[in-house]
A and B are shown apart, each in its own frame.
Chain A
């Protein structure tokens, strides 16, 4: 069997802050195969972006990737690779699309220059060649009138067009892996539809692997084939997309799915996950979801759950895998349920 394109094992990325050690990513393992679209979903602060930045080795002090973490990509360990080599991989083999298209662009250069710059650095093309390639790539992203738009500055473009520029920059070198961190969160829903459509289309066209990071289960369902659910710095569930939506196992995944209103399936009252995500400097011992979980018992308090096999290519970090009868008697979670709205 061919090894996966990207293989992450026991990734730990910690920030040494005044408030203590923030264990933002704490023992994360997963693979991304060639040509595959893998989703990472979870609420803010669960470690999605830090995972992405770790892959590109863009973690700045006081953060660091802890020794023992491994990120294998095309046969190289990115964690220990020299600075020169990692720079070569960044932009050439792995590229990233960020959430905020404005802050990722330089306001004083035309967008054509900025896209061309990537090709000049990484492919050593001449100015002329790089410019032509930039216009070509912009056209590929569906940018209207790409020759004219290439001569404009970021502030002259709409949010959707700026996101197309970032996608062009990410794709111009035809990388093996594109990491898209909330690529449509800042966009309106009709523009989001355009951009997601484009990403899916480009992925099919070039066979690029995509790591799609989002908090939106709708985006996950529509674009990915395999899903990783993160909570409190850990992977808590992983499954093929159809399997995850048909048979969510982890109570957090279940809660996330039920607390979202769905168009066309309105219910009287939304289910809620009580409480909030704990602080990364202070993850609860045992199961990190314990205090918010309607099934918790002594075991999750004592014992940190491993990733159990719960189905075909489906794993879940929850002791219900071995004590399934506990699911039959949900109870009020431990967190103090306050006021009328919380019940």
Chain B
């Protein structure tokens, strides 16, 4: 199996062949008629202290991946190891302990906070569940947490509706931090915020990471935010990781044709930049019925695309050191030309870098 592994022991989290299928039911008997392949054979590692960015368009499986890792959603199959421990075989009480180490921050700062609880009570909840502090000690800890995320300690007695979106996101961050986690899944934590407030929250997350030695999985659809915050980036398309590399390599030289199109589509805030754009045709197909072979083939612009792409599922393979991409036409590839021809291939793999000039 081709898996982007560096040094086994440095990894905080390892995910192997993760799958999540949501059943599609129909009729009075709720008979299952199909399945949405929300996460379709995903493998990656996250090293201690790093930020793994996860990008991709709506519905590609980012949130489902993040939630299955925390077992907020039960995976259909695959392996999840956190500090070497098998997360999928954990008992309820082991899971409860694990939730101290792994936290999540949600996209929607409005609906993720209980409107009937004070800010103080929201942040204290985790302290109580995990028996970390009570009484005056808990109060002191809440005060400290509020200050850390840039809010006044007096706010502990107020309710969520009294705060702006950016402030609510800070409250969500304080809640996640309260139990002293090692790993936080940040699911679009700044997507709902205005540009100026977004920058405040990103800086806060970076400061906290340094101070608390945190490891982040940072999910977002905004590619420039991810370039800024992530050390490595995984690009998802239709439930699959199609490219995985350091942020620097990925943005400088995207190898998978989908990533190339995605990056070229981002509007550039510079009227002088005359950039090359790859306009993809059509829409993302339904994950209930993903295309055969390479899931990107109906929209792919790679000049060597051919019948082999519809038959062979491209492995996520190392194209250059530390740079993984899933494309059998982007050389080098472990899927031999012989194999490709047997699958109907007519165009040999080549190196295709339509954006090279743009980001030079």
Contacts and interface: CB of A to CB of B under 8 A. Distances in A.
Interface residues of A, number: 51
Contacts, number: 150
Given A188-B58, A191-B283, A263-B266, A342 B227 contact: no
A188 B206 contact: no
Interface in B170-216: 170, 194-208, 211
A340 interface: yes
Given A270-B199, A273-B199, A339 B265 contact: no
B110 interface: no
A190 interface: yes
Contact of B199 (A193, A220, A272, A276): A272
A130 B221 CA distance: 39
Given A276-B197, A277-B194, A194 B280 contact: yes
Nearest to A339: B150
A241 B265 CA distance: 20
A257 B271 CA distance: 13
Interface in A110-152: 144
A190 B280 CA distance: 7
Contact of A259 (B149, B170, B198): B198
Interface in A300-343: 338-342
B74 to A, nearest CB: 28
Contacts of B283: 158, 160-161, 191
Given A222-B268, A242-B272, A256-B196, A340 B359 contact: no
A196 interface: yes
Main secondary structure of the interface of B (DSSP, over half): helix
A245 B265 contact: no
B150 A188 contact: no
Contacts of B205: 341
B225 interface: yes
A270 B227 contact: no
B160 to A, nearest CB: 16
B72 to A, nearest CB: 24
Contacts of B166: 276
Interface residues of B, number: 55
Given A189-B221, A193-B279, A342-B200, A44 B194 contact: yes
Interface in A203-261: 215-222, 241-242, 245, 255-257, 259-261
Nearest to B359: A264
Contact of B224 (A194, A220, A260, A272): A260
A271 interface: yes
B27 interface: no
A192 interface: yes
Contacts of B277: 193, 197
B203 A272 contact: yes
B271 A241 contact: yes
A338 B57 contact: no
A225 to B, nearest CB: 9
Contact of A257 (B221, B269, B273): B269
B130 interface: no
Nearest to A263: B224
A260 B203 contact: no
A189 B57 contact: yes
A339 B148 contact: yes
27 contacts: A144-B282, A190-B57, A190-B265, A191-B283, A192-B265, A192-B267, A215-B194, A218-B266, A218-B267, A218-B268, A245-B271, A256-B196, A260-B199, A260-B269, A263-B224, A269-B203, A270-B202, A270-B228, A272-B199, A273-B196, A276-B197, A277-B194, A339-B149, A340-B148, A340-B150, A340-B204, A341-B205
Given A220-B269, A221-B267, A267-B228, 7 more contacts: A191-B57, A193-B264, A193-B280, A222-B268, A264-B227, A338-B150, A340-B207
